[in-house]
Amino acid sequence: MLTSLEGKSVIVTGGSKGIGRGIATVFARQGAKVTITARGEEAMKKAASEIEGDVSYEICDVSDWDSVQAMVANVAAKQGGIDVMCANAGAFPQTKIVDMDPSEWDGVMATNLRSSFLCVKAAIPHFEKAGKGRVVLTSSITGPVTGFPGWAHYGASKSGQLGFLKTAAMELSRYNTTINAVMPGNIYTEGLQDLGQDYLDTMAASIPLKRLGAVEDIGNAALFFASDEAAYITGQQIVVDGGQIIPESLEAIEEI
Ligand code: NAP
């Protein structure tokens, strides 16, 4: 049993759908005051009304500094501070390098990597004021551990988050704040469904636990990093993938 997060102010970027919604659900269940953020208001409204607990929303484009600053300031004013920042929002358009317009590369970097920096930067004054804080990044196995055609930009952005993490852990330590990353495998989300049933089926077959992850599987890992019990863990990452990166070959998975 982890120490309660009752009443803590938690921001979950990309909380209107998928993994972010799962993280928000897990924290709200623990009694946290959760603010979900995204660009689309309708999906956020729906998520905020459907998730049980204290959940509100703020519109924010995580790739834009002014937008992130305004969102963090609004949440801090409304909730009396920021205790936990879950920088989760991300995008994964699939385009091979040969076909990729440089603007697509820049867009993915801005949404997935620049956003981690902006969310941490905006939250620092609030962690400093509180004398403590927690950051949880949503990275991926794709990039840091594995590759997949069409995701060179995505993989680079997700590896970049882990590079950012190491130095951020050192700099945030002076504010008694930890930063860690969850590296999901294939999690059943709206974004993943867009890749088609064939993708979902072949992925599930390549995972030792024989299923895609649930969004709460990632929420539970984020909750641990945000807990008092994880106070001495910083600059680290955990793979949550049902064992997907373990098999050496197709034969190995068929042997199970
Ligand atoms: P998703 O279902 O497509 O949801 C993405 C969320 O991010 C939505 O709430 C979306 O809302 C928001 N978002 C996207 N661009 C944004 C922007 N510029 N500013 C603010 N919010 C933005 O995606 P997901 O599958 O849950 O993925 C969430 C995170 O997990 C990403 O970082 C992804 O890289 C990572 N991940 C996912 C998987 C997986 O299997 N699903 C695996 C590994 C890692 P709006 O579009 O309305 O802004």
Whole-number pLDDT of residue 165: 98
Query: What residues form DSSP beta bridges with 35?
Result: 11, 56
Average pLDDT score over residue span 78-104: 98
Q: Check pLDDT > 90 for residue 191.
A: no
Q: CATH number for the domain including 239?
A: 3.40.50.720
Quick check: is 58 in a domain?
A: yes
Q: Which atom of ligand 1 is nearest to the CA of 36?
A: 9
Quick check: is 252 in a domain?
A: no
Tokens of 74: 């609004």
Q: How many domains would you assign to the chain?
A: 1
Average pLDDT score over residue span 44-61: 98
Q: 28: Cβ–Cβ under 8 A, 6 or more apart, which residues?
A: 34, 51, 52, 53, 54, 55
Quick check: is 196 in a domain?
A: no
Average pLDDT score over residue span 94-109: 98
SS3 state of residue 146: strand
Q: What residues make up the domain containing 236?
A: 9-187+214-243
Say how far apart CA 87 and CA 135 lie, in whole Å.
Answer: 7
pLDDT per position as a tens digit, 166-184: 999 999 999 999 999 999 9
pLDDT per position as a tens digit, 224-236: 999 999 999 999 9
Quick check: is 117 in a domain?
A: yes
User: What is the average pLDDT value for the chain, to the nearest integer?
Assistant: 97
Q: Check pLDDT > 90 for residue 256.
A: no
Q: 198: Cβ–Cβ under 8 A, 6 or more apart, which residues?
A: none
Quick check: is 1 in a domain?
A: no
140 CA → ligand 1 middle, Å? 12
Residue nearest to atom 3 of ligand 1 (CA): 191
Mutate to test the pocket of ligand 1, among 19, 59, 148, 215 (most ligand atoms within 8 A of CB): 19
Instruction: Tell me, yes or no, if the pTM score tops 0.75.
Output: yes
- Ligand 1 site residues (CB inside 6 A) read 13-14, 16-20, 38-40, 43, 60-63, 88-92, 111-112, 138, 140, 184, 186-187, 189-192
Write out the catalytic residue numbers.
154
